[in-house]
């Protein structure tokens, strides 16, 4: 084998290396595609050939003139056909008679040939007998090329064109009738995937589980000798962007066995039964290549629970799910097959999929911690030219709550910002700008803001920052700016100092106070409200509602969860279904209003006590437009303490 994987001795075509003629290169014909234009060109070419090279017929004469030439003795031989009577003179008398198949081998005549359209005249035969004119009848002759063209080429071409149009239409509708039952899995052989476990960071526990799976495929006797069995199915569960598909690619790169990759949506088609047929075909091919791995991404597309189906549910999806359940743990063995699944909605999966014997091992792929974020940043920064001053540890500390995909996006955005600024190395400020761009939005440098709105925005952001600075356990203020980004006129970015995974009631109340700080500052500065606090009020109201309905932090319903999540809900965005009385709903609304009013009063008193500090921070924002953490602390001579595991807080 050569270095490129091809054989060292290539097959030779006849004539290659033997001095003979080389065969023409047929590669251009492999890419030939059917088109109706080719049919038109073919018909035009044959018609032109027939017009130029096929002998044109002699002009006809009147039938009476034809009889007169017989009477005068000029015509000595007559050829009778259904279309014409053709008369030949004495100079052509010696021409060969017709062959047995009805075709003549005529040479171009030297004397005129007379043709007449036949008329039903019974005396014509008697006339030719009297004048001793030889006559004979021949079958109707046609042009062989045109006969083949109109009898075979054109009908077949038209049928082929119709078939192609129907086929294209069916593909557009979502299915090919000739292969609807075949699975659409992408089969990856050993060496086709370059990703390995060293390219995955931040999910060490999940990686260890999959390392064991790969080790079983490479060394099965180590487990079978002791009587152990590897799990048949491993389900990767976690929020979007945490690296579930990346882990599956790493398994494909490390396993050294065939790897079948398919999305859950690829099973479902418009025809009922197609999904089940594709599942059967997928497992049939996998058993033939065992040991191997089957990876089904977005498993919830076909694995949704059948318990909450209304009116029979979706027959196609349920048949596909039933077939998948049978293939994973039916009468037929699945020895040597390991099924990997990935989903970010495990709560909607059918219980039959999660029982032992199927997806009996669930691996949580969660957002990375501080150490994991730094490792992920270093992996993505391998191909990026960094300045020596860049501190990835600092970037990891201010990106709490970011997923692996978010961190990869930050590195890429920082590189693009460095190129946009004309630098050849990525600096720390590029990472800071990239984080702000992702968290707060794109900077609007050309937007012109009226002076009064700019002043109101400065007080709004100063109110957020001061409340956060003097609220216990609040997140630290990282940056304050009145430069428009996205849809907001200004923003205050808070970053937690450390990861924390439980949230206390005092922290939630402090977060509500911080969100209300912007509106309080506006009221103190202008004496009225504005619409700039709409997003803050929405976030504060949502926190207060969750405190009552989710966290059991109300006086009347302490330790009671009032919100119930139905089918289709998930941890990130629950689908609330009210299962309590109307009076309870009224209490929830009143309690939300009470919490917000109470925190609004506390916030107003806090800022009134620090009115001079509020004016100083607002004026600094009007002068500089942006204050970083050091400049803000210099003004307040105080800073927030503590931190949480929540994502960065952006107050508009």
CA 44, distance to chain mean position in Å, is: 45
pLDDT confidence of residue 183: 55
In angstroms, the CA 274 to CA 131 distance is 81
Q: Mind listing the pLDDT tens digit for each residue in 77-107?
A: 888 887 788 888 876 554 444 444 444 444 4
Summarised one tens digit per residue, pLDDT across range 479-526 is: 899 988 878 888 888 877 777 778 899 999 999 999 999 999 999 998
Looking at residue 500, what is its pLDDT?
Answer: 75
The single residue listed with the structure tokens 């189906």 is: 309
Token duo for residue 575: 């689908």
Token pair recorded at residue 144? 């062989």
Looking at the predicted structure, is the pLDDT value of residue 33 above 60? no
Q: Which CATH class is domain 186-364?
A: alpha beta
Q: Which of 389-398, 438-447, 530-539 bottoms out in mean pLDDT, i.e. has the lowest?
A: 438-447
Residue 18's pLDDT is what? 39
The closest alpha carbon to 203, from 254, 234, 242, belongs to: 242
Element housing 123 (H / E): helix 123-130
Q: Which helix (H) or strand (E) holds 628?
A: strand 626-628
- Determine the number of helices (DSSP H) and then strands (DSSP E) in the chain: 22, 17
Which is it for the CA torsion 14, 19, 24, 26, positive or negative? positive
Provide the greatest CA pair distance for the chain. 141
> Could you report the per-residue pLDDT of 442-480, keeping only the tens digit for each?
877 777 788 899 999 999 999 999 999 998 888 888 889
The CA-CA-CA angle for residues 587, 593, 596, to 5°, reads 140
pLDDT higher than threshold 50 for residue 568: no
289 neighbors 213 (Cβ within 8 angstroms): no
C-alpha pair distances (Å), 324 with each of 61, 320, 358: 82, 6, 10
Asked if pLDDT for residue 291 goes beyond 90, the answer is no
Give me the active site residues, please: 461
Separation between Cα atoms, residue 35 and residue 160, nearest integer Å: 10
Judged against a pLDDT cut of 50, whether residue 19 lies above it is answered with: no
pLDDT at 262: 85
Q: What Cα–Cα distance (Å) separates residue 397 from each residue in 377, 400, 501, 620? A: 11, 6, 15, 27
Question: Could you tell me the pLDDT band of residue 110, with boundaries at 50, 70 and 90?
Answer: low
**Which is higher by pLDDT, 559 or 415?**
415
Q: Are 459 and 620 in contact (CB under 8 A)?
A: no
Percent of the chain with pLDDT over 70: 76
Identify the pLDDT of residue 270: 62
The pLDDT value recorded for residue 311 is 46
Q: What's residue 173's pLDDT?
A: 52
Contacts of 239 (CB under 8 A, 6+ apart): 344, 366, 367, 403, 572
Helix (H) or strand (E) holding 263: strand 258-263
**Confidence at residue 81, expressed as pLDDT on a 0 to 100 scale:** 82
Q: Is 465 helix (H, G, I), strand (E, B) or coil?
A: helix
Domain ranges of the chain: 60-97+106-142, 186-364, 370-440, 451-651
For residues 385 and 383, give the distance between their C-alpha atoms in angstroms, rounded to a whole number: 7
Nearest to 266 by CA among 184, 152, 198: 184
Q: Is residue 50 pLDDT above 90, yes or no?
A: no
The predicted pLDDT at position 641 comes to 35
pLDDT of residue 27 exceeding 60: no
**Per DSSP, what are the bridge partners of residue 234?**
340, 361
Instruction: Name residue 262's beta-bridge partners.
Output: 296
Query: How does DSSP classify residue 292?
Result: E
Residue 446 C-alpha from the chain's centroid: 35
Cα angle at 138 between 134 and 141, to 5 degrees? 140
Q: What is the pLDDT of residue 486?
A: 78
Strand order in the sheet with 85-88: 60-61, 114-116, 85-88, 77-80, 134-137
Residue 35 has pLDDT above 70, yes or no: no
Q: Using H for helix, E for strand and C for coil, what is the string for 329-346?
A: CCCCCCCCEEEEEEECCH
Contacts of 183 (CB under 8 A, 6+ apart): 262, 266, 267, 278, 279, 281, 282, 285
370-440 is classed CATH 1.10.8.60: yes
Could you tell me which residue, 14 or 67, shows the higher pLDDT?
Answer: 67
The confidence band for 643, taking pLDDT boundaries of 50, 70 and 90, is: very low
Give the three-class secondary structure for 105.
Answer: coil
Using CA atoms, how far apart are residues 561 and 249, in angstroms rounded to an integer? 40
pLDDT score recorded for residue 519: 93
How does the average pLDDT of the chain come out, rounded? 78
**Phi, psi (rounded to 5 degrees) for 110:** -90, -20
pLDDT at 145: 74
User: Higher pLDDT residue, 563 or 33?
Assistant: 563
Residues 6+ away with beta carbon under 8 Å from 397 = 370, 495, 497
Q: What is the DSSP string of 544-565?
A: HHHHHHTS--SSTTTT---EEE
pLDDT, mean of residues 314-336: 76
For residue range 146-205, what is the model confidence (pLDDT) as tens digits?
677 767 777 787 888 888 777 776 665 544 444 555 555 566 655 566 788 888 888 888
Give pLDDT, residue 126: 84
Percent of the chain with pLDDT over 90: 21
Rounded distance, CA 541 to CA 523, Å? 19
Q: Does the structure show a pLDDT above 50 at 12?
A: no
Instruction: Report the CATH fold assignment for 60-97+106-142.
Output: 3.30.720
What the block records as the tokens of 487 is 């849809």
230 pLDDT more than 80 = no
For 451-651, CATH number?
A: 1.20.58.760
Per-residue model confidence (pLDDT) at position 58: 60
Provide the residue count of the chain: 652
Res. 248 pLDDT band, cuts 50 70 90: confident
Can you tell me whether residue 519 is helix, strand or coil?
A: helix
Task: Tell whether the model's pLDDT for residue 651 goes beyond 90.
Answer: no
With cut-offs at 50, 70 and 90, classify the pLDDT of residue 542.
Answer: very high
Q: Above 70 in pLDDT, residue 10? A: no
Task: Report the pLDDT value the prediction gives residue 211, as an integer from 0 to 100.
Answer: 87
- More confident site: 403 or 360: 403
**Least confident window among 206-220, 226-240, 311-325, 458-472:** 311-325
Is pLDDT above 50 for 267? yes
Q: Which of 161-175, 335-349, 602-616 is predicted with the least confidence, judged by mean pLDDT?
A: 161-175
For the cut 60, the answer to whether the pLDDT of residue 53 exceeds it is no
Per-residue pLDDT band at 619 (split at 50, 70, 90): very high
């Amino acid at each position: 084998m050569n270095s490129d994987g091809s054989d060292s001795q290539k097959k030779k075509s006849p004539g290659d290396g033997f001095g003979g003629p080389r065969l023409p290169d047929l590669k251009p014909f492999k890419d030939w595609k059917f088109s109706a234009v080719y049919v038109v060109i073919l018909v035009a070419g044959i018609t032109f050939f027939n017009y130029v090279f096929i002998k044109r017929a002699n002009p006809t004469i009147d039938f009476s003139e034809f009889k007169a030439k017989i009477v005068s003795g000029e015509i000595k031989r007559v050829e009778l056909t259904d279309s014409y009577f053709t008369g030949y003179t004495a100079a052509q008398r010696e021409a060969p008679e017709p062959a047995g198949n009805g075709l003549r081998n005529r040479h171009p005549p030297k004397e005129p040939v007379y043709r007449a359209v036949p008329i039903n005249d019974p005396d014509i035969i008697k006339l030719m007998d009297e004048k001793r004119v030889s006559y004979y009848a021949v079958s109707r002759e046609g042009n062989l090329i045109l006969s083949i063209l109109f009898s075979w080429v054109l009908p077949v071409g038209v049928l082929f064109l119709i078939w192609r149009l129907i086929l294209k239409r069916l593909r557009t509708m979502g299915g090919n009738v000739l292969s609807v039952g075949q699975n659409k899995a992408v089969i990856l052989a050993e060496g086709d995937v370059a990703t390995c476990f060293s390219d995955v960071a931040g999910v060490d526990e999940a990686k260890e589980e999959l390392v064991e799976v790969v080790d079983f495929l490479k060394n099965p006797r180590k487990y079978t000798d002791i009587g152990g069995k590897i799990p048949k199915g491993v389900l990767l569960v976690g929020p979007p962007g945490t690296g579930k598909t990346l882990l599956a690619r790493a398994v494909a790169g490390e396993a050294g066995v065939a790897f079948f990759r398919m999305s859950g949506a690829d099973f479902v088609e418009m025809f009922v039964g197609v999904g089940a047929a594709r599942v059967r075909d997928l497992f049939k091919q996998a058993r033939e290549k065992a040991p191997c791995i089957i990876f089904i991404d977005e498993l919830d597309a076909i694995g949704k629970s059948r318990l909450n189906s209304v009116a029979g549910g979706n027959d196609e999806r349920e048949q596909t799910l039933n077939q998948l359940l049978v293939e994973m743990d039916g009468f037929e063995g699945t020895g040597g097959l390991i099924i990997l699944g990935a989903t970010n909605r495990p709560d909607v999966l059918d219980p039959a999929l999660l029982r032992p014997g199927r997806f009996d091992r669930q691996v949580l792929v969660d957002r990375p911690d501080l150490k994991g974020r730094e490792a992920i940043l270093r992996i993505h920064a391998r191909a990026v030219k960094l300045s020596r001053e860049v501190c990835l540890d600092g970037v990891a500390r201010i990106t709490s709550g970011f997923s692996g995909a978010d961190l990869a996006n930050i590195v890429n955005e920082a590189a693009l910002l460095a190129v946009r600024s004309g630098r050849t190395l990525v600096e720390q400020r590029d990472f800071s700008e990239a984080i702000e761009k992702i968290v707060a939005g794109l900077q609007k440098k050309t937007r012109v803001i009226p002076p009064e709105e700019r002043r109101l925005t400065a007080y709004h952001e100063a109110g957020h920052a001061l409340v956060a600075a003097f609220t216990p356990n609040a997140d630290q203020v990282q940056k304050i700016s009145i430069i428009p980004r996205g849809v907001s006129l200004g923003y205050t970015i808070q970053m937690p100092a450390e990861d924390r995974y439980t949230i206390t009631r005092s922290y939630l109340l402090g977060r509500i106070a911080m969100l209300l700080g912007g509106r309080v500052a506006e009221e103190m500065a202008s004496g009225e409200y504005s619409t700039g606090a709409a997003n803050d009020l929405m976030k504060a109201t949502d926190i207060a509602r969750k405190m009552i309905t989710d966290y059991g932090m109300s006086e009347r319903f302490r330790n009671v969860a009032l919100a119930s999540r139905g089918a289709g809900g998930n941890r990130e965005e629950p689908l609330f279904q009210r299962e309590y009385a109307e009076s309870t709903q009224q209490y929830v609304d009143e309690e939300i209003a009470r919490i917000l009013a109470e925190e609004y009063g506390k916030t107003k008193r806090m800022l009134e006590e620090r009115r001079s500090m509020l004016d100083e921070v607002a004026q600094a924002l009007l002068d500089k437009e942006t204050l970083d953490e050091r400049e803000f602390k210099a003004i307040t001579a105080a800073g927030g303490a503590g931190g949480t595991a929540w994502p960065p807080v952006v107050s508009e």
